[in-house]
Amino acid sequence: SHGCRPIVERKLGRKERKLVYGGVAGRATRLVRTSAAQRRAFVLGDDEVLTLARWATAIERHYGKPMDMEWAKDGRTGELYVLQARPETVQARRASGQLETYRLGRAGARLLTGAAVGEAIAAGPACVLRSAAEIGRFVPGSVLVTSITDPDWVPVMKLAAAVVTDHGGRTSHAAIVSRELGLPAIVGTGKATAVLHDGDTVTVSCAEGDTGVVYEGRAEFERQALDTTAIPRTRTQVLLNVANPTAAFRWWRLPADGVGLARIEFIISHDIKAHPLALLRPEAVASPRERAALAKLTRGWPSPQEYFVAKLASGIARLAAAHYPRPVIVRTSDFKTNEYARLLGGAAFEPHEENPMLGWRGASRYYTDYRDGFALECRALKRVREELGLTNVVVMIPFCRTPEEADAVLAVMADNGLKRGERGLEVYVMCEIPSNVVLAEQFAARFDGFSIGSNDLTQLVLGVDRDSSRLKGLFDESHEAVTRLIRSVIDAAHRAGRKVSLCGQAPSDKPEFVRFLVDAGIDSVSVTADSFVRVKANVAAAEAALGARQPQSLRSQVTRA
């Protein structure tokens, strides 16, 4: 409606052969190779896709249930037909069992331990791959064992029963992708590729708390389906942190109140792969090999810029469509300079910084030398909201150091057609720097809400590098120095009529931190899908413990347009 064309994703099939009907004169039906033009072309145009989608929704409305439909397009007239419709059973059955809890029984010898990702258990033969060059010999259904993963590994991760790595922590690539694909993973074992051998049957257990264990042989374990209707209702909203568009539709049955943090870095590094400025100015990339790779990536697209905008819009749209009409808060890119430099062609545009964590990141990029790259991000967000009709997308600005910086960023957004307040556009700010708390009233005058990034806020309040293993005993989001600031920003935001969420790791790991947040009157917490059920239960318990004392939040009065 309203002129929107909500085609969230397109896939170009290979279509190497076609079956040609022989006709009524007794000629044989033939299988022939397709032409190069046919292989390159999409089978349906946008109007035809939208027509079929409208017919499908009308059929499902008529029957009142999900339907499995077949359609055809007449080769001579181009007319579309619906051939049949029957109740859908495969996805309906699979989806209901998607949310499960696991309990380990008798198990073999402990072979390895590491950080557990997810709460599932899986068993199967190990497939040990030393590098991405060996991906071709991966056996679907095996346990993927490797040193470390990067975007090249995603296709085999989708086929794995579980993932075990030598290196990496809870925020590593392997952990993020496994979490969103619902795969049990054990990261940072130190020696998996040395201890495990191809074909060894192992059990990967993430059902025993923070430490994951690889057991010898096939352990006994039981799996129990979760009834999503039994998840308690809470006043404090619980939202999801998401990054991977391919997993967007996996968790739609969770009774989440929306998405509190959609990170677009994953889309840029996995789907787009290139630095935005390298797409805009490929002649500035010194390496002929990288220039050739850029040309190959964008071949067939109207322009390299359109490649970036369309790919980013498609990724964001999948995250937003899975939760429509609930709010989906999309954070603009927050790579550090060393991470931007690793994108194809990125080295030409990124300075070397001694401390990228405190360097040219977040808001400071958007109105300076990265401004043209940020304009492409704005174009993608505008397309998702206005052309695809996903108006539930809220934009969030990361690492915004001062109110003056906020003004500069909002001005650049408005120049690119994203004006706060127009067409219902809300703009949030990450609260992850002490200045965001100290000047909360000034930030509240410029933004519609705050999302507390407890990892960065803790790092900057306590002066502790969040990635330092030597200092990990000092890194504590529950420290009074941090909790006082969190209470302060919640109170200041509510006085200004603004909402506050928190999207760090702490609520997933610490029930007492959830109790503190509920007591402080936070509007929502945003957590990874694998910890949603646990956090929801902890929030309900915290609200019950507080009893009749309604937190001083504007939750009941603030309604979303």
The CA–CA distances, whole Å, from 441 to 42, 476, 532 equal: 51, 26, 31
Under a CB-based contact definition with an 8 Å cutoff, are residues 455 and 504 in contact? yes
Under a CB-based contact definition with an 8 Å cutoff, are residues 212 and 117 in contact? yes
**Out of 305-319, 350-364, 428-442, 545-559, least confident range:** 545-559
pTM beyond 0.75: yes
CA distance between the termini of the chain: 18
Is pLDDT above 70 for 380? yes
Number of H helices, E strands in the chain: 21, 21
**Out of 15-24, 49-58, 388-397, 514-523, least confident range:** 15-24
pLDDT of residue 551: 47
The 3-state DSSP class for residue 545 equals helix
Q: How does pLDDT run across 112-139, given as a tens digit for each residue?
A: 999 998 889 999 999 999 998 899 999 9
pLDDT of residue 550: 54
Is pLDDT above 70 for 556? no
**How much is the average pLDDT of 169-190?**
88
pLDDT of residue 530: 77
pLDDT of residue 422: 96
Is pLDDT above 50 for 437? yes
pLDDT of residue 345: 97
The pair of three-digit structure tokens given for residue 486, joined into one six-digit string: 């969190």
Is pLDDT above 80 for 547? no
The CA–CA distances, whole Å, from 159 to 12, 89, 281, 470, 557 equal: 21, 23, 37, 36, 46
Is pLDDT above 70 for 534? yes
**How much is the average pLDDT of 477-496?**
97
In which band, very low, low, confident or very high, does the pLDDT at 92 lie, cut at 50, 70 and 90? low
Q: How does pLDDT run across 245-256, given as a tens digit for each residue?
A: 877 777 777 889
Under a CB-based contact definition with an 8 Å cutoff, are residues 144 and 160 in contact? yes
Is pLDDT above 90 for 335? yes
**Greater model confidence, 177 or 501:** 501
Pairing of strands 427-431, 449-452: parallel
pLDDT of residue 249: 77
pLDDT of residue 268: 96
- Cβ neighbours of residue 79 under 8 Å, at least 6 residues apart? 73
Residue 526 and residue 277: Cα distance in Å, rounded?
A: 32
Say what percent of the chain tops pLDDT 90.
71
> Which value, in Å, is the radius of gyration of the alpha carbons in the chain?
25
Least Cα distance to 508 among 252, 210, 229, 265 occurs for 210
Please tell me the chain's helix, strand, coil percentages from 3-state DSSP, rounded to the nearest 5.
40, 20, 40
Residues designated catalytic: 173, 503
Is pLDDT above 60 for 94? no
- Cβ neighbours of residue 353 under 8 Å, at least 6 residues apart? 336, 337, 338, 359, 360
Share the mean pLDDT of the chain: 90
In which band, very low, low, confident or very high, does the pLDDT at 2 lie, cut at 50, 70 and 90? low
Residue 377 and residue 264: Cα distance in Å, rounded?
A: 9
- Cβ neighbours of residue 463 under 8 Å, at least 6 residues apart? none
